[in-house]
Amino acid sequence: MNAAEEKMRKRLEAAGLRPTRQRISLGEILFGRGDRHVSAEALHAEAAAAGETVSLATVYNTLRAFTGAGLVRELTIDANRVYFDTNIGAHHHFFDERNGALMDIPAELIKIDGVPTPPEGAEIEAIDVIVRVKTATS
Amino acid sequence: MNAAEEKMRKRLEAAGLRPTRQRISLGEILFGRGDRHVSAEALHAEAAAAGETVSLATVYNTLRAFTGAGLVRELTIDANRVYFDTNIGAHHHFFDERNGALMDIPAELIKIDGVPTPPEGAEIEAIDVIVRVKTATS
DNA sequence: GTGTTTGCAAAGTGTTTGCAATTTA
DNA sequence: TAAATTGCAAACACTTTGCAAACAC
């Protein structure tokens, strides 16, 4: 029995999710190597490349389940693709419009002042800072 | 000859766009009343409500043309819908996740410090701050 | 066993495209 | 008249859904 697999199984149980074969596989890919930003499509491809059999629908289901359980966070950065971020703490992003690359910016680095009081009855959920960059054309 | 229409015609010409009937109509709706945030679908509905005959495809074409000409700016805020902002100056946004409402925050109000140097060879295009709020459930 | 999850294929959204007809300069 | 624009319907890319079979507890 693989140790990483066992650990993932526990992590899913702790989050109240049934540790199915597919969720364990996807979890290992997502959380196995530091912070990641993935689209459903990309995760599906990675799973396939790793020899795991997981349908695209299940990848979507799983990512939604992980999001609901707080293991992962949805990012809105590109209008035609949902990204999921395995870093669930507060932080910001560099987004390279040329190639779609995303890079974390630790929350402590950026100081934001002067955010006005939200409209009557609204409460601030999150403050997202996206630094859009373009790499020079080669 | 409507004065507003004539003005819009000139504005389009100045931007290097042919002033077609459809572009003038859409332009008047977009720029006629202060800063606006619209989706293609919403603009199409508004045009229809105003009695203008414009196909949805043309609304998309026009918004793309306006974006290219710098009359309008694309906003990435919601993963399944593109918004266009008639305010092309630097500024930020409140976004109400409950009802999709968008509200401008003047750039001068918010001070951002500590943005790290972008990765090698990349240049900062824009810094977007999105303050996500939720109105209390009624 | 009972309720959950999977996976397929079909349906759904929002957006783009091909192309003939129309319009603009 | 030449080049750009329109509008329809079809094509697209991404995501969700319906439902029967497989699985977890």
Residue ranges of chain A assigned to CATH 1.10.10.10: 3-83
Answer yes or no: is pLDDT of A61 > 70: yes
Contact A26, A9 (CB under 8 A): no
Q: What is the dihedral sign for C-alpha A9, A11, A14, A15?
A: negative
Q: Which residues of B touch A127 (CB under 8 A)?
A: 129-132
Contact A103, A115 (CB under 8 A): no
Please give the pLDDT value at position B137. Answer: 67
In angstroms, rounded to a whole number, what is the distance separating the alpha carbons of residues B11 and B27?
Answer: 9
Strand partners, A131: A94, B127
Contact B94, B77 (CB under 8 A): no
Distances (CA, A) of B91 to B41, B85, B126: 24, 11, 10
Element (H, E) at B39: strand B37-39
Answer yes or no: do B112 and A116 touch at CB < 8 A.
Answer: no
Q: How confident is the model at residue B79 (pLDDT cuts 50, 70, 90)?
A: confident
Specify the CATH architecture of the domain A3-83. Answer: Orthogonal Bundle (1.10)
Query: A53-71 b/e with 16+ CB inside 10 Å = b?
Result: ebeeebbebbbebbbeeeb
Amino acid at B71: L
Question: How many residues belong to chain B?
Answer: 138
Please give the pLDDT value at position B1. Answer: 56
In angstroms, rounded to a whole number, what is the distance separating the alpha carbons of residues B10 and B27?
Answer: 11
Please give the pLDDT value at position A83. Answer: 96
**Residue B6 CA, nucleotide D1 C1', distance (Å):** 27
- Closest residue in B to A111 (Cα) is B113
The nucleotide lying nearest A39 (C-alpha to C1') is D14
CB B23 under 7 Å to nucleic chain D: yes
Mean pLDDT of chain A: 94
Contact B83, B39 (CB under 8 A): yes
Contact A138, A98 (CB under 8 A): no
Higher pLDDT: B62 or A79? It is B62
**What pTM, to 2 d.p., does this model score?**
0.90
Q: What percent of chain A has pLDDT over 70?
A: 98
Answer yes or no: do A112 and B115 touch at CB < 8 A.
Answer: no
Contact A75, A91 (CB under 8 A): no
Q: Which residue has the tokens 């560099």?
A: A94
In degrees rounded to 5, what are phi and psi of residue A22? Answer: -65, -45
How does pLDDT run across B23-68, given as a tens digit for each residue?
999 999 999 989 999 999 999 999 999 999 999 999 999 999 999 9
